[in-house]
Each structure stands twice: as structure tokens, then as C-alpha cells.
Amino acid sequence: MNTRRIFINTALVAALALPLAAFSAQAPAAGKPKIGMIGSGNVGSNLGKVWVSKGYTVMFSSKDIEADRRLAAQIGRGALAGTPEQAAAFGDVLVLAVPYGALPELGKSLGSALKGKVVIDASNPFAQRDGAIADQALEQGAGIVSARLLPGARIVRAFNAIGAARMGAVHEAPGKIGMPLASDDKAAVDVASAMIRDIGFEPVLVGGLAMGKYLMPGTPLAGEHTPAEVRQIASTLKP
């Protein structure tokens, strides 16, 4: 029996059984932060997929872990699935892509796992969906309220007013679309900016968390703008 031929054939079968995405994605790269994705709907899945394709390791999480496991299996190498608590413990950087009304409970359930971690807050408040906490965020500013709901987290508001599908496609023509950021933590902005630039956006810091009230649909910074346009619009806005 030709054992060498059997070994090669077995290896070929195993390779063909891998998800196609495993071949298109880069291997997880050393030095890039691990990402804990809290919320794996349209925003979370699109962002996570493109980060994996750029060599990041992403753990997807939501209320439906079976859906997260299917998503991770579809994406392949570099994609994992877990509970929100597991994703929070896993990630060097956390990305919140959940309805804003979920933030009070997440602040309690994730607790100490948030302390000292960079948290990219992509959640938006909508009064009809999120209730009283959305009213507070719309009145006081989402950045300020998010910081109160997630004590100890190093919050960067981003990905708040661009369509979910576009989030996963901008890397095809990088540098043309500005991504406004709001944060009071310069080091956190540096981390988030590198991640944002890796997937094709040009990060533009528009100010501290008080400017987070402009990073949501219906505000002047909503939609797609060039980096120069983001800077120009931001210069007309007050905290």
C-alpha cells in the first residue's frame, strides 16, 4: 500500500472541507489586538468579517450563540464565537454593536471585564426602540451617557452613522471616507484609529465624548464624507 499517497489524499480532503473564507482571510497577525464583538447583527457581522480578513482575531457574541457559531464557521480562520462575557474577557478591544437599550445591562453583566479596555461604541439611541435610556442619550449625548453606563471602559464613539453594508466594503477603496471619532482618551483613539484605518476608513477625531451627540443618524456628520469634509463639518459644531 502506498502510504504516502494516502497521506496526501487525506490532507487534500481535509483542506477541501475547510470554509472558503479560511483561504481568503489572512492568518491572525501578531501585534494586532484581539477583538471581542458584542452584538453580531448587521453592524457587528460586517465589521467583524472585514477585520478577520485583515488579520485580526474576532470573537463574535450575542444572545444567540448558535448563530454566532454558524457565523464564525462561515468566516473561518480568525473567527470565534462565545457569550458576551467570554468575548469581553477575550478581547483586547471590545466593539459594542447592540441596541442602545442593551447598554445598561451590559454594563452590569460585563462589569470588571470592561475596566481599562478600549471599547468602540457603535450603538445608537432610538427612543421608540430603546426607551428612557435613549431619551437620556439624545438629551445629554450618547458619548457621555455611554461612559456612565460602562464604568471603567475607555470609550471611543465610532461607526455610528454609516450603513452596515458599507462598513464591510470601504476597504476596497481605502482612505476616501472619513470616520469621525469622539473620545476623551488619546491612547484609546490611537488603538481604534489603527483598526479603523486597517479596514479602509480614515479616522478623524472630532473631539471628546461630548461630541458623541453628533455621531448618530440625523446629525450633520451622518453619512459618508471625505476626511476633509468631516473636519470641516466638525469645525462648525459645538460640544
pLDDT digits (tens, 9 = 90+) for 90-133: 999 999 999 999 999 999 999 999 999 999 999 999 999 999 99
- Inside any domain, residue 101: yes
Radius of gyration of the chain (CA): 19
For the segment 228-237, the average pLDDT, to the nearest whole number, is 97
> What one-character DSSP code corresponds to residue 211?
G
- Tally of domains in the chain: 1
- Inside any domain, residue 8: no
pLDDT band at 28 (very low <50, low <70, confident <90, very high): low
Mean pLDDT rounded to a whole number for the chain: 88
Domain encompassing residue 214: 27-234
User: Which of 161 and 179 is assigned the larger pLDDT?
Assistant: 179
Please check whether residue 99 is in contact with residue 42, taking contact to mean a CB–CB distance below 8 angstroms: no
- Inside any domain, residue 137: yes
Task: Identify any residues that bridge with 223 across adjacent strands, giving them in sequence order.
Answer: none
For the segment 137-155, the average pLDDT, to the nearest whole number, is 96
- Inside any domain, residue 16: no
- Inside any domain, residue 4: no
- Inside any domain, residue 81: yes
Whether the predicted pLDDT of 3 surpasses 50: no
**CA 95 to each of CA 35, 114, 162, 208: distance values in angstroms, whole numbers, following the listed order:** 7, 11, 16, 18
pLDDT value at residue 21: 35
Which domain CATH number covers 189? 3.40.50.720
Whether the predicted pLDDT of 32 surpasses 90: yes
d(CA 23, CA 15): 10
- Inside any domain, residue 200: yes
- Inside any domain, residue 198: yes
Q: Which helix (H) or strand (E) holds 118?
A: strand 118-121
